[in-house]
Amino acid sequence: MTVHIGAKPGDIAETVLLPGDPYRARWAAENFLEDAVCVNEVRGMLGFTGSYKGNRVTIHGTGMGMPSTSIYVNELIKDYGAKTLIRIGSAGGMQEHVKVRDVIIAMTASTLSTPSRGIFKELNFAPCADYGLLRAAADAAEAKGTPTHVGGIYSSDVFYDERPDLNEQMVRHGILGVEMEAAELYNLAARHGVRGLAVLTISDHLLTGEALPSEDREKSFGDMVEIALEAAFA
């Protein structure tokens, strides 16, 4: 048990999927895991452990933004022994060829700032995914026939962005989409020698203004969850 996770020793699997929304964690556990049980509900941040094709898996919420993600990822790694951590979340599309409901597998995550910046100081560390996971996720997406893009994303530290000039540069430099958590996950995975990946579903688009209604988001996120699970145990 930690300050933010009430699970007992052994309750958390070595493989953890990380949606931001705790209710998405519950939805994913109910729909993709066998014999899922709730192992955490401290502060309403739900976590569930069950099995996928005979492999033990935990699906645990992280909340919104890199500071919240950093708390849960640190505790999952250092206190519960998580070895493979895959973010499953939504992102905003930033390229015309990236469509709503498409999946992004994030190879790198650019950012202005993360909770790890105090460690790196003047160094511009380049957070990136674990290659084995990335390759396995790309293979799983191809096998499913899911429209998928592999490349760089932007992890923003604000939701209500007022930097159109920065967004223009992200688009200009081929960034596929924007979200708020992956860069810190990749930093922590590198620091602690574990595997990290982000598999994201495009829920809205910065260029076109298109967006999925909230009631459609869960149904559109199934491919992302399956890709993440297949990649974890490839």
Domain span including residue 193: 15-232
Q: Is residue 34 part of a domain?
A: yes
The tens digit of pLDDT for each residue in 71-128 reads 999 999 999 999 999 999 999 999 999 999 999 999 999 999 999 999 999 999 999 9
The C-alpha atoms of residue 115 and residue 183 are separated, in whole angstroms, by: 10
Q: Would you call 204 a catalytic residue per the annotation?
A: yes
Residue-by-residue DSSP string for 76-143: HHHTT---EEEEEEEEEE-STTS-TT-EEEEEEEE-S--TTHHHHTT-----B--HHHHHHHHHHHHH
Q: Tell me whether residue 195 is annotated as binding.
A: no
Bridge-partner residues for 48, per DSSP?
38, 59
Q: Tell me whether residue 26 is annotated as binding.
A: no
Amino acid at 100: V
Q: Tell me whether residue 192 is annotated as binding.
A: no
Q: Is residue 10 part of a domain?
A: no
Backbone angles phi, psi at 175, to 5 degrees: -65, 130
State the CB neighbour count (10 A cutoff) for residue 20: 20
Contact 176, 151 (CB under 8 A): yes
Tally the domains of the chain: 1
Kindly name the residue from 11, 157, 204, 223 that is annotated as catalytic: 204
**Which pTM was predicted?**
0.96
Strands 195-205 and 103-110, sheet pairing: antiparallel
Q: Is residue 6 part of a domain?
A: no
Q: Is residue 7 part of a domain?
A: no
Q: Is residue 84 part of a domain?
A: yes
pLDDT per residue of the chain (234 residues) written in tens, 0 to 9: 899 999 999 999 999 999 999 999 999 999 999 999 999 999 999 999 999 999 999 999 999 999 999 999 999 999 999 999 999 999 999 999 999 999 999 999 999 999 999 999 999 999 999 999 999 999 999 999 999 999 999 999 999 988 899 999 999 999 999 999 999 999 999 999 999 999 999 999 999 999 988 777 766 799 999 999 999 999
Q: Tell me whether residue 163 is annotated as binding.
A: no
Contact 212, 203 (CB under 8 A): yes
Q: Is residue 226 part of a domain?
A: yes
- Encoding tokens for residue 82? 């998580």
Strands 148-155 and 177-179, sheet pairing: parallel
State the CB neighbour count (10 A cutoff) for residue 217: 18
Q: Is residue 3 part of a domain?
A: no
């493989």: which residue's tokens?
15
- Report the CATH number that the domain containing residue 176 is assigned in CATH: 3.40.50.1580
Q: Is residue 130 part of a domain?
A: yes
pLDDT of residue 219: 63
Bridge-partner residues for 51, per DSSP?
34, 56
Amino acid at 156: S
The C-alpha atoms of residue 55 and residue 234 are separated, in whole angstroms, by: 11
Contacts of 103 (CB under 8 A, 6+ apart): 141, 146, 147, 148, 149, 199, 200, 201, 202, 223, 224, 227
Q: Tell me whether residue 203 is annotated as binding.
A: yes
Q: Tell me whether residue 102 is annotated as binding.
A: no
